[in-house]
Amino acid sequence: MSCQQVGEFLDAYLDKELDVVASSQFDRHLLECSACRAKYERYAQMHESVRAHMEYFRAPAALEQKLRAQVSPSVRLQSEVPRRNWFPGWRQWAVAASLAAVLLLTALLVQIARRPSASDMLAQQVVSSHIRSLLANHLSDVISTDQHTVKPWFAGKLDFAPAVEDLASKGFPLIGGRLDYLDNRTVAALVYKRRQHTINLFLWPSPEPDSTPRTLTIRGYNLVHWTHAHMAFWAVSDVNASDLGQFARDLGS
């Protein structure tokens, strides 16, 4: 509260017309400001002197009733507004701050809810790597249908030995392999065929426990993800979901 406000509300303070918050602010200002405190003390002495020496006349009861009957509820309500709103500003700011906090919290929660999980972000990477291999015409660093040729090619290029299986007898012939980069590391990419469709199988070590295959679709491509024997597997293709699911089952059988 400023010194100017103290001067404006001094009479109301002496008459105990201020609300609890305004009275508290007034008290605190008087403790900190000697000039306002001296002014208050002069006013208080004058106030007490007037109360002590002024003759008091009580209005007749009939006059009081007549006056109350003539004052409409709306006028009475308006007369009460100044007393209740000596300091309306702090209430408005408090409400505005609360609304702003709620809106900010809601926006943060919406952003968190919309933010993709780590698994979803990795799935997006898998699809992008699959598309990139098709567009760049770089499906394989080693082209071979022989698993005994593809598997040794990875030796010395990775810090793990990928399991390479030929599923030609089940309709998914191996056609080669290459190196790729996913989940912030170099991974093995094995390439299979299903009729005219290409299947990329990405695999790398994972600390996750074994899990059953999970199927999802991103940008029209089907994916199957699972973990087995501390290895993560991601199969992706534009082949139908049923065939890709069968590929995952045949690979794990």
Query: Mean pLDDT, consecutive 10-residue segments, the chain of 253 residues?
Result: 80 77 79 85 76 64 73 53 52 70 68 64 90 82 93 94 93 95 91 95 93 91 94 95 94 76
Do residues 100 and 108 touch, judged by C-beta distance below 8 A?
Answer: no
Q: State the pLDDT at residue 121.
A: 86
Do residues 200 and 133 touch, judged by C-beta distance below 8 A?
Answer: yes
- Judged on CB neighbours under 10 Å (0-12, 13-18, 19+), 239 is buried
Q: State the pLDDT at residue 71.
A: 67
Q: State the pLDDT at residue 136.
A: 67
Nearest to 233 by CA among 194, 197, 192: 192
Q: State the pLDDT at residue 86.
A: 47
DSSP H or E run through 230: none
Q: State the pLDDT at residue 203.
A: 95
Do residues 188 and 203 touch, judged by C-beta distance below 8 A?
Answer: yes
User: Residues near 135 by Cβ (< 8 Å), separated by ≥ 6?
Assistant: none
* CA–CA gap between residue 63 and residue 59 (Å, rounded): 7
Q: State the pLDDT at residue 29.
A: 85
Q: Is the dihedral of CA 131, 135, 141, 142 positive or negative?
A: positive
- Count the residues in the chain: 253
